[in-house]
Structure 1
Amino acid sequence: MTPLDISASPPSQAGNSPESVLVRPPEEWLSAQAIRSSASAVMARAQANESRHFTWHPERMAVATAYVVALMKERYPDGLVPLYSIWRHVASGDQNRWNQLAAEHGLSPETTRLEHARAQIDFAVVAALMAGGQAPLWHYSDTSSGQHLPQPPGMAVAVLRWMGAGAFSSLSTHPVQVDAQGLAMVDGASMNLAFQVGPNNPLPGIAMRVSALHQLGLALEQHAQLFSLPEAPGILRPGHLVDTLFRLAPTGRIKAASLLSMLLHAFGEVWHGPNELNGVNLGDCWRHEAAPGGWVAFHQQAQWLAYSLIEPLQTAGLTVTDLDVLTGLPDLRNGGLLLDLGILQARDRAFHTQRWTLDAEAVVEWRALSVAILDHLAESVRGELGLTVESFPVGRLMEAGTWAAGCKIALAKRPAGSPPVQIDSDGAAFFPL
């Protein structure tokens, strides 16, 4: 699948034999299908009780289903569950911060629909990129609402306020935008100020975050055909993606798998990880012997961004289809819930006390099993509520309950609600909380 192929289907699953693995191109792991297929391969080993690090307990699924459904009904009594995305964080504390910012700058979705969507995409790309890393001692004081927000909602709101001040725009006449020249001007001092960093409010990974924004600017330049307009070729914005999609999808319908593929190819250097295959950066892919070809794909932050772009694209008049192709995100809350509820149990209790790196086999296995089990949990919740996969994909499950449930049960089990897994992550691009 090429980055510009909007209507293409995901790659065939026929390439799991040892013979086909030898000739599989590295780009095959840069797809939605690769995420679910590699997770399923690791899950098959757990279902056969052959997982090295965990045991799978399907008898606990009913307990998990009841826990999530109860929380879903509490949070969304009308049953209208939005997708899990950056927009839920921006609205933390029942504050419609985006609409307030848009109104202040004359970005009405009714009268400036396209520019409104561009600005939303600009924001979502930067906010998703800044979401990585653990910062348990950091918070953001939102003076407008009077709220003190921990990460991750605090990070999203901080980026929103920073963007509203024109920090990412090279045009003083158009402050609420993100462009390549504006991103190049971001430095550590301005980021520390925007994120309210100080001795009593530490935020690890500032240098990494600044570098990621600079890499984003370079990615916009490297893929100018995606992020520029014919009438303004010098202004390179993430938000111009909506114009590109209108050109590439005249029917107004875009497959979720194609959207993710485009993001993975366009922002590959931004999400550059330590793993390459034949000179191709695999991003959020990690070694595991049970996976086809020896790699498990997650693309966690790219999927988080894909989920977060769906609403802005809909605002512009585009429809993203086949949302069930995207997977659950194996973060510390969604994946932590499965451990805390006992659906997934570590063979060695030291798994919960040791600090791990992302490439550790136990962490790769936990994340892969979390992706697969979230599919099982989504199916169980749909069965309980009489919903279809089309109306209730796993993206709605995460918002309905698993992320919030992960926070809730962690708070009941451990001081300050710390997750059941400790990951060394100081702003690395792949691991939003």
Structure 2
Amino acid sequence: MTLDTAWHHHQQEAEQAAAQLRTTTTIRERCGQLLERARRGESTWFELDEAKLDDAAHQVAEVTRRRFPKLHSVPFHSRWRHFEAGGVDRRKQLDELLHAKTHVQRAHALIDLAVVSVLLDAGAGPDWAYTEPATEETFTRSEGLAVASFHAFTSGLFSSDKEHPLQVDAHGLRGLSTDHLAPAFQVREDNPLVALENRAILLRRLGEVMLEQPETFGPEVCRPAGIFDMILGIGGPDIPRTADVAAHDILSHLLMGLAPIWPASNSIRGVPLGDCWRHSAVRGPGLTDGWVPFHKLTQWMTYSLLEPFMWAGCTVHGLDQLTALPEYRNGGLLLDTGVLKLRDAGVAANVWQPGDEVVVEWRALTLSLLDELAPRVRSRLHLDERQMPLASVLEGGTWAAGRELAYQLRNGLPPLQVASDGTVF
């Protein structure tokens, strides 16, 4: 074997390992390993009390009933809920701006908005807020980031073409700096947004990556919405009447297309893995050994694209192939209801990094336990998986209940402090 052949073989192995770590089957299997370990009482960090799952399910069901009295129409957990902050129908506002566009062009705009808004959605921190000029309402955290990104999008901030402001394109993103983002998000010395520079870097990376993949993001104007055309095989102004797509296909295309934008610290032989972290107790074949994938932000993006695909007339199936989102509201729910308990209460006093083992394990246990919590919630609401997919359990739901408990107990702060790098939480 020549050196060149050996190098290609090594890289092929790395690519295959990365591909395996991009499936939700692997995500669930790796997280499941840590749940089984916790069940055996072998977790270094957490004690597990599964009897408390019923208490958590009761809490989630009550919050769901209160938020959505019409239980058969609980919407998906997605960015579009945040665009409704303050009871304002901002999608309707966008539809009015797009009234002269074709169905495909409208879908493109909605997908562009969702993608860029999700990439800007990592934790804002407790000291930032956004005041919407039109309503004079002030929003914080995820809702604030959503409303701010909505207005940044409609103002044309992410477009390089003044004639077509309602788009996100590669050239518009490549030139984006914190000097552009800061005023759009009302960032000042007395209104700091966590990891502002990292958010700008992430968007600039997206611009570069889209230009490198015209087959995915479009041959002429490279846009996130190019994924819509590629998945559906659209070559003209019309959407096929029989358009049908699996939710996991959307996720797979996003994971492949966006892989190079993530910080390169998590990689196998230079192949970026994204939201994928090491844990000493997790086993797997070959180069995947020790890795626990989550892909939270990309799955959040996928959840946020389900509706634009459906609004365009597509059938989307296999929603529950996607996993629960392992972030601090869902994870906080499990700690605050006693399903999980820190072995050392002092751990809560520290600020942890996303790669720290306690954080990796917290997220893994959260993801696995929410799969077990979901049927308990449905049972209390007398609904089945078809009526209430996991996406609706999250919205009803686990995220809202986790946030409510956090505000009751700690003025909104999560039970474990994780430093945001602008790409994970």
- Normalised to the residue count of structure 1, the TM-score between the two structures is 0.89
Q: Deviations over 1:161-184 (max 9, x none)?
A: 011111111211111101111112
5 Å-filtered alignment, 1:223-238, equals 223-228=213-218, 233-238=219-224
Q: Secondary structure at the match of 2:104?
A: helix
Partner of 1:185: 175
Q: How far apart are the structure 1 equivalents of 2:328 and 2:20? A: 27
Letter in 1 for 2:74: V
Q: How far apart are the structure 1 equivalents of 2:176 and 2:14? A: 43
1:320 correspondence with 2:311 = no
Confirm or deny: 8 A CA contact 1:324 1:390 kept in the other structure: no
Letter in 2 for 1:53: W
Partner of 1:47: 39
Partner of 1:199: 189
Q: How far apart are the structure 2 equivalents of 1:98 and 1:86? A: 11
Partner of 2:155: 165
Q: How far apart are the structure 2 equivalents of 1:272 and 1:321? A: 31
Q: Secondary structure at the match of 1:268?
A: helix
Letter in 2 for 1:32: T
Partner of 1:370: 366
Partner of 1:6: none
Partner of 2:87: 94
Partner of 2:354: 358
Shift of 1:30: 1.2
Q: How far apart are the structure 1 equivalents of 2:201 and 2:339? A: 38
Alignment CA distance shift 1:188-1:23 (3 Å): closer
Q: Deviations over 1:206-239 (max 9, x none)?
A: 22111111111112112211111xxxx3211111
Letter in 2 for 1:332: Y
Letter in 2 for 1:309: L
Letter in 2 for 1:235: V
Alignment CA distance shift 1:235-1:22 (3 Å): closer
1:220 correspondence with 2:224 = no
Q: How far apart are the structure 2 equivalents of 1:132 and 1:373? A: 23
Shift of 1:22: 11
Q: How far apart are the structure 2 equivalents of 1:270 and 1:81? A: 33
Partner of 2:199: 209
Shift of 1:290: 2.7
Shift of 1:333: 0.7
Confirm or deny: 8 A CA contact 2:187 2:193 kept in the other structure: yes
Letter in 1 for 2:340: L
1:329 correspondence with 2:320 = no
Q: Secondary structure at the match of 1:52?
A: coil
Alignment CA distance shift 1:272-1:265 (3 Å): farther
Shift of 1:98: 2.2
Alignment CA distance shift 1:272-1:391 (3 Å): farther
CA RMSD of aligned residues (A): 1.9
Gaps of 5+ in 2: 1-12
Shift of 1:327: 0.7
Of 51, 54, 57, the match for 2:49: 57
Shift of 1:32: 1.6
Letter in 1 for 2:292: V
Q: Secondary structure at the match of 2:220?
A: coil
Partner of 1:382: 378
Gaps of 5+ in 1: 1-20
Matched length = 402
Q: How far apart are the structure 2 equivalents of 1:347 and 1:310? A: 39
5 Å-filtered alignment, 1:21-420, equals 25-79=17-71, 80-103=73-96, 105-107=97-99, 112-228=102-218, 233-247=219-233, 251-291=242-282, 292=284, 293-414=289-410, 416-420=411-415
Letter in 1 for 2:171: Q
1:425 correspondence with 2:420 = yes
Q: Secondary structure at the match of 1:43?
A: helix
Confirm or deny: 8 A CA contact 2:123 2:142 kept in the other structure: no
